[in-house]
Amino acid sequence: MIVAISPAEVSKTSTATNRCVQQRLPRVAGVRDTSDTVLVSECGLTLPLDVDRFCSPPTRPERRFLRKLHGPVLDVGCGPGRAAAYLRGRHVPALGVDSSEGLVHLARTNGALCVHQSVFDPVPFEGRWHEILLLDGNIGIGGDPERLLERLRGVARPNGRLFVEVAPIGPTRRLTVREHVGSDVGEPFPWAVVSMRGLDEMIAGSGWRCEEVHRVEDRLIVQLERMM
């Protein structure tokens, strides 16, 4: 598969991005503690963001999971491109998509093919993707998980698969959050948290059906299949 990508300007769009860049270039910028990056909702709910993991190569259990994929893979909200770069390194056709220009630049630096855009805008090879990733809670993108599931139904090919990482327990929440990094606070944006049970309820009548659940260390990734 050939994916044309135009060059992007380097722009650091979030504090977490800056931290990823610093971690990747420790001798240039110095390594900083990334453990204090969280999303905080308007009502004070705190959701940790594992920026250290996002900026590291896939762990052995993650690699074991990624090796199940044959491609073409679309990694939605790919961040620094760890999954897309790993897959590409294994000659699996994989493309990342991310709305953060800085993270797209970083993903490309890390060896991933990646486009800078929202998943809600038309993506390359729309309707032809065999496997789509929504890892790291990315089912929360846009704050409306049903809309995202519907959107990705149009992105996947018939019988295509969608891998959704869910929260093991708890209710489904639609939130407005801000990124906090130490004392730095970002702009508000919509986000959602979806549990296993929440996803189960959501897919009824959605055109997706559950095929399998993968456990990757303490994380749960639900494999959905696009019904015809």
CB–CB of 175/193 below 8 Å? yes
Closest CA to 53 of 102, 19, 76, 25: 19
- Candidates 65, 74, 80, 149: give the one binding ligand SAM (CB under 6 A): 80
- Candidates 62, 98, 131, 179: give the one binding ligand SAM (CB under 6 A): 98
- Candidates 69, 78, 113, 181: give the one binding ligand SAM (CB under 6 A): 78
Q: Which stretch binds ligand SAM (CB under 6 A): 30-38, 64-72, 116-124, 170-178?
A: 116-124
Q: How far is the CB of 1 from ligand SAM (least distance, A)?
A: 20
Alpha-carbon span 120 to 164, nearest angstrom = 17
Closest CA to 170 of 143, 195, 144, 148: 195
- Asked whether position 119 contacts ligand SAM by CB under 6 A, the answer is yes
* Cis bond before residue 72 (omega within 30° of 0): yes
Q: How far is the CB of 144 from ligand SAM (least distance, A)?
A: 11
Nearer residue to ligand SAM within complex by CB, 78 or 164: 78
**Pair of tokens at residue 47:** 């959701």
- Within 13 Å of residue 125, how many CA atoms lie on the same side as its CB? 22
Alpha-carbon 75 to chain mean position: 6
Q: What does the per-residue mask of binding to ligand SAM show for 130-169, with x meaning CB under 6 A?
A: -----xxxx--xx---------------------------
Nearer residue to ligand SAM within complex by CB, 89 or 158: 89
Q: How far is the CB of 218 from ligand SAM (least distance, A)?
A: 16
Alpha-carbon span 3 to 85, nearest angstrom = 14
* Cis bond before residue 190 (omega within 30° of 0): no
Provide the binding-site residues for ligand SAM, judged by CB under 6 A. Answer: 54, 77-80, 82, 97-100, 103, 118-120, 135-138, 141-142
